[in-house]
């Protein structure tokens, strides 16, 4: 655990000392704030929700995950610090989990910054239901966790950050986009597509339902891709 925390701390400092994290934070908050404000202008404040924020938060969070993870392992290979990692007294699991914890920590900070949206609803005199709000944030946390794990896996496959962000971003976009494509798919396959779609599983949290199947799905995706990332590092170590 100590080794994981050291790696995670180093990664977090790397994020916070570079302008990229602040640019991503700013873009995310501007986009979600604009959608949140636009939604509020269309409804009665007495029936306010954070649906305006949730409309864009999912896709933005996937883009955020792809961008922050593109450098997690790719940069190590490009900068020549990969060999140092391979010969250091840390396991491949420690490296992957350390990178994951750092990415997840950065995402949690980003989500905390958006909590002024529901706070604003209370200030404006609305009476939002706290249950769906907290369920939605849990869904965003699980969604972001799975996306970060996928990003780390693809980052472990290449030393090119551009390739990493394009492939991971494309994969995440496809997993989200399946939710829109369900109506065009033959009925026999709709249930399967709905099961693996990020959007379809997030919809449950979006309406305040914490579906155990969706929780297990996101956690399963997270564990699976972290495992694949570890195996990828092991393969690179022996090659």
The predicted-structure confidence for 168-204, as pLDDT tens digits, reads as follows 999 999 989 887 767 667 676 777 777 888 888 888 8
Instruction: Output the average pLDDT for the chain.
Output: 82
Q: What is the mean pLDDT of residues 15-21?
A: 81
Query: What pLDDT, on a 0 to 100 scale, did the predictor assign at position 180?
Result: 73
More reliable by pLDDT, 45 or 106? 106
Query: What pLDDT, on a 0 to 100 scale, did the predictor assign at position 84?
Result: 62
Query: What pLDDT, on a 0 to 100 scale, did the predictor assign at position 194?
Result: 77
> What is the torsion angle, in degrees rounded to the nearest 10, for the CA atoms of residue 129, residue 130, residue 134 and residue 137?
60
Asked whether the whole model's pTM tops 0.85, one would answer yes
Distance CA 229, CA 237 (A): 12
Look at residues 13, 171, 219 and name the one whose alpha carbon lies nearest to residue 98. 13
Look at residues 106, 149, 98 and name the one whose alpha carbon lies nearest to residue 17. 106
Query: What pLDDT, on a 0 to 100 scale, did the predictor assign at position 76?
Result: 64
């Amino acid at each position: 655990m100590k080794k994981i925390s050291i790696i995670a701390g180093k990664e977090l400092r790397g994020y916070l000392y570079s302008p990229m994290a602040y640019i991503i934070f700013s873009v995310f908050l501007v986009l979600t704030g604009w959608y949140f404000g636009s939604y509020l202008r269309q409804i009665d404040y007495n029936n306010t929700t954070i649906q305006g924020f949730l409309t864009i938060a999912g896709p933005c969070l996937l883009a955020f995950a792809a961008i922050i993870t593109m450098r997690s392992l790719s940069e190590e290979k490009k900068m020549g610090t990969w060999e140092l990692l391979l010969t250091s007294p840390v396991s491949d699991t420690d490296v992957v989990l350390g990178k994951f914890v750092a990415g997840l920590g950065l995402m949690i900070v980003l989500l905390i910054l958006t909590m002024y949206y529901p706070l604003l609803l209370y200030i404006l005199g609305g009476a939002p239901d706290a249950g769906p709000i907290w369920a939605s944030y849990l869904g965003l946390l699980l969604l972001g966790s799975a996306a970060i794990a996928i990003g780390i896996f693809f980052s472990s496959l290449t030393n090119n950050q551009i390739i990493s962000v394009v492939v991971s971003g494309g994969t995440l976009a496809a997993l989200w986009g399946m939710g829109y494509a369900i109506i065009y798919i033959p009925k026999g396959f709709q249930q399967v597509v709905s099961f693996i779609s990020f959007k379809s599983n997030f919809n449950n949290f979006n309406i305040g339902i914490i579906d155990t199947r969706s929780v297990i799905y996101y956690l399963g995706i997270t564990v699976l891709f972290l495992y694949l990332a570890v195996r990828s590092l092991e393969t690179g170590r022996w090659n």
